[in-house]
Amino acid sequence: MNLAVLWLALLGFLLAGYFVLGGADQGVQMLSSAARDERARTGLLACLGPFFFGNEVWLVGAVAVLIGAFPFLEGSLLPGLYPLFVALVAGLVLGKAAVQLRGRATGRWSRRVWDGCVAAGGAISAVGWGLVVGVLLAGVPMRDGRTFTLGWPMLLNPFVLSCGLAFGAVFAAHGLMFAWMRVPERIPVRPAPVLAVATAAVALAVVLGAGTGAVRPVNPAPVWALTGVTALALGAAWWAVRAGRAGRAFAATGVVAALPVPLLGVGNHPYVLLATEGPGMTVAEGAADEASLGILTAFGVVVLPLVLACQVWSWWAFRGRVDRGTPTYL
């Protein structure tokens, strides 16, 4: 296995981690719009706790690896999906800032604006990620092997839209399980109906992807296998919800949230950008040269375990439910 594939796996790990952790945040953000009043909303958002600060930076880490190890993929991907990323980043920024600042606002009017930003930011980011994953699964119209531009037909493809919907629904369900685990008496809706919507949305995306021929992966076998795992994870989530086990339900929806990443990486290997016509961009073409990857690896071996250890420490130190002695800030 060469260094580029190793770093691709790492990129996938960070992005999948982001979908699991940041996805839960975005889900809770979306659900906060269903909270009855101010007290209920504050109580619900309290579940984000200190994790909120560490969760979102998994994306920063993933983009860092994209820039550091795959500068050529980055140079094609970000300008190619320009409008999508602009909307996504604007949504992320609004949501992240609003979660931290809404508690500082005292006027009723300003609270309402911040609360709107919290929910809208979560929804825009969640759906935006779904659209990005959908477009990448369906393939992009590459020119000269380096550049492409997102067009309306690509974005309005039913499969791509269904991916946006599925991400929104899965993140909402995942966030709900997280809140159920941390602040069980504060959740604004019951888990079962939200999980039903998520299951239906995922099923729709699978049917459209396979049925309309929108997805033609390079390696169909692992794609079907991973789709099967998604189905199993959804089944496990149903079982956990019936049994009233919040932690297990959260783990199961986490698997569902993370699976699109390996699906994308393994399904299209050796391409990092699948083209609708002609050859796409392979891992080697997207990656930095061996010397740079070598330096990155030398630092990565030290830095990544340290950074992950910090996160694990944070999870351990603040594990358990939010109770009366927990510092409130959000």
Partner 1 sequence: MDTLDLARLQFIGTTGLHWLFVIFSLGLAPLVAVVHTRAVLARDPGRRAGLMRMTRFWGQLYVINYAIGIVTGLIVEFQLGLSWSGLSKFAGNVIGAPLALEALVAFFAESTFLGMWIFGWGRLRPAVHAGLIWLVTLTAYASAYWILVVNGFMQVPTGLEVRDGVAYLADFGALLTNSNVILALIHVTSAALVAGGLFLAGVSAYHLRRGTADREPFLGSLRMGVAVAAVAVIPTAVVGNMQFPILQEMQPMKVALFTHAPTDALQARMRAAYGPGDYVPPYWAEIGEEVMLYLGYTLGMGAICALLMVFRETLVRRRAVAAVAALAAGSSMGEFAGGLVFGAPGPHRVAVYVACTVLAAALLVFRPRRRRALALLLVVAIPLPFVASLAGWVMREVGRQPWLVYGHLKVEDGLSPVGWGMMLASTVTFIAVLAGLAVADWVLITVFARRGPDGAHLGAVATAPEPEPEPVKLPL
Cα–Cα distance for residue pair 270/266, rounded to 1 Å:
8
Binding mask 200-239 for partner 1 (x = CB under 8 A): ----------------------------------------
Q: Does 282 bind partner 1 (CB under 8 A)?
A: no
Q: Does 21 bind partner 1 (CB under 8 A)?
A: no
In the complex, the smallest distance separating the C-beta of residue 133 from partner 1, rounded to whole angstroms, is 17
Q: Which is nearer to partner 1, 148 or 159 (CB)?
A: 148
Q: Does 284 bind partner 1 (CB under 8 A)?
A: no
One residue of 83, 184, 247, 305 binding partner 1 per CB under 8 A: 83
Cα Rg of the chain (Å, integer): 20
Q: Does 299 bind partner 1 (CB under 8 A)?
A: yes
Cα–Cα distance for residue pair 91/98, rounded to 1 Å:
10
Cα–Cα distance for residue pair 140/158, rounded to 1 Å:
15
One residue of 18, 52, 129, 271 binding partner 1 per CB under 8 A: 52
Residue 131 amino acid letter: L
In the chain the first and final C-alpha atoms are separated, in Å, by 44
Q: Does 243 bind partner 1 (CB under 8 A)?
A: no
Q: Which helix (H) or strand (E) element contains residue 272?
A: strand 271-273
Q: Does 65 bind partner 1 (CB under 8 A)?
A: yes
Token representation of residue 99: 């979660």
Q: Which is nearer to partner 1, 1 or 306 (CB)?
A: 306
Bridge partners for 271 per DSSP: 282
Rounded alpha-carbon distances, angstroms, from residue 73 to 77, 148, 152, 277: 6, 11, 22, 18
Number of residues located near partner 1, criterion CB under 8 A: 75
321 phi-psi bin (left φ>0, alpha ψ -120 to 50, beta other): beta
Q: Does 186 bind partner 1 (CB under 8 A)?
A: no
Q: Does 273 bind partner 1 (CB under 8 A)?
A: no
One residue of 5, 40, 71, 269 binding partner 1 per CB under 8 A: 71
SS3 category, 273: strand
Q: Which is nearer to partner 1, 133 or 266 (CB)?
A: 133
Residue 138 CA, chain-centre distance (Å), reads: 18
Q: Does 182 bind partner 1 (CB under 8 A)?
A: no
Residue 67 CA, chain-centre distance (Å), reads: 19
Site for partner 1 in 144-173 (CB under 8 A): 147, 149
Site for partner 1 in 87-146 (CB under 8 A): 87, 89-90, 92-94, 96-97, 100-101, 103-107, 109-110
In the complex, the smallest distance separating the C-beta of residue 59 from partner 1, rounded to whole angstroms, is 8
Cα–Cα distance for residue pair 3/8, rounded to 1 Å:
9
Q: Does 2 bind partner 1 (CB under 8 A)?
A: no
